[in-house]
Structure 1
Amino acid sequence: MPQVSSDISSPSPPPPCPVPHFAPVRVRGGRPLLRRLLRHRRRAMAAGLAVTAAALVAAGPRDAERARAQGPPAASTPAADAAAPSRASKPRAAAMVTAPVRIADAETVRLLHRGDRVDVVASDGSTSRVVAAGARVTEVPGAQAGAAESAAEAGALLVLSVPRATAARLAGAGAGMRLAVTLC
């Protein structure tokens, strides 16, 4: 290592100079955002509720399907089995049923095809009302060769897919009123 001589005179430090006064620097960041959220509590609450609702919707169906797959919990006593009938023993009501309907105008029925949507209107001569709205045509049975003239007088058969309650209204209206269809 080279030797440094200590007899070299070093220059003196510069004289002190005054530092000017300035305002403190404020950094924008987390604290103002937190203060703003605290000022706008309703928005923060709404945002929190929206996130919670989205999480519950996303998690809900999977948990429900898992519970259905596991089935009802096993009963511990025979008396509990007799008191609570199982789900398998109850027949489930079908959401849609097929309903045969006799329409007064046979020529109108000839214009219909499977899959068309129709409104069924019941009329007793003085008043009319819609009995089934938006019913889907499932089948249009053809007229028999020998009964063409009598079918024109009696109307034509039409098979519709409707909810169970609507099928009951159709049957009741068909018993005492003339039925007509309009294409939707």
Structure 2
Amino acid sequence: MRGGSGHRVRRAVWRQRRSMAAGLALTAAALAVSGFGGGGGGQGADAARGPAPGRASPPVRLVSAPVRIADAATVRLLRPGDRVDVVASEGAGAKARVLAEGARVEQVPAASAEGASGAGALIVLAVPRKTAADLAGAGISGGFAVILC
């Protein structure tokens, strides 16, 4: 009789192992989907969901973008640290569009460095890389103006 009961015990333990393994797999899948899993989801899963409530999003990397402003007198009003909106216009009668909002002025070259070219004045702004590319592309075809924030 002893041999039969031992076989039943082993069978019961084997079934429990299978049940536990299945339950563990389901729990792991549920944790991975819910975002409570520790580290297994990687950064790709976090990036797809965005920052969790209460967590700061990663800082945006800023680059320096030189921008020629059409009105040199306006540039003389600016100081490093000022915030400006950059507006582009394709010409008279064209609708103006805002290319950068709240851009920080990094440098304002001295008036003597600009000379008397009458072609506006150069400033350097700290903006995200995408905005810098937009500014560079728009600067080829039109002039820029700034609005002090």
Q: What band does the TM-score fall into relative to the shorter chain?
A: 0.5 to 0.7
Q: Percent identity?
A: 62
- How far the C-alpha of 1:143 sits from its partner, in A, is 2.2
Q: 2:115 aligns with which of 148, 162, 171?
A: 148
Q: Distance in 2 between matches of 1:131 and 1:114?
A: 20
Alignment size in residue pairs: 95
- How far the C-alpha of 1:169 sits from its partner, in A, is 0.2
Q: 1:158 aligns with which of 111, 123, 131?
A: 123
Q: Which residue of 2 aligns with 1:80?
A: none
Q: Distance in 1 between matches of 2:97 and 2:104?
A: 18
Q: In the TM superposition, what are the counterparts of 1:17-32 in structure 2 within 5 Å?
A: none
Query: 1:108-135, CA deviations, whole angstroms, 9 ceiling, x for partnerless residues?
Result: 0110011110000000122210011110
Larger of the two Rg values belongs to structure? 1
Q: Which residue of 1 aligns with 2:11?
A: none
Q: In the TM superposition, what are the counterparts of 1:1-184 in structure 2 within 5 Å?
A: 95-125=61-91, 126-144=94-112, 148-150=115-117, 153-184=118-149
Q: Distance in 1 between matches of 2:115 and 2:130?
A: 33
- How far the C-alpha of 1:149 sits from its partner, in A, is 2.2
In structure 2, the gaps of 5 or more residues are 1-34, 43-59
Task: Give 1:174's aligned amino acid.
Answer: G
- How far the C-alpha of 1:157 sits from its partner, in A, is 0.5
- How far the C-alpha of 1:95 sits from its partner, in A, is 1.4
Task: Give 2:81's aligned amino acid.
Answer: G
Task: Give 2:87's aligned amino acid.
Answer: V
Structure 1 runs of 4+ aligned residues shifted over 3 Å read none
- Give RMSD over aligned pairs: 2.3
**Which structure has greater strand proportion?**
2
- How far the C-alpha of 1:144 sits from its partner, in A, is 2.2
Q: Distance in 1 between matches of 2:115 and 2:106?
A: 22
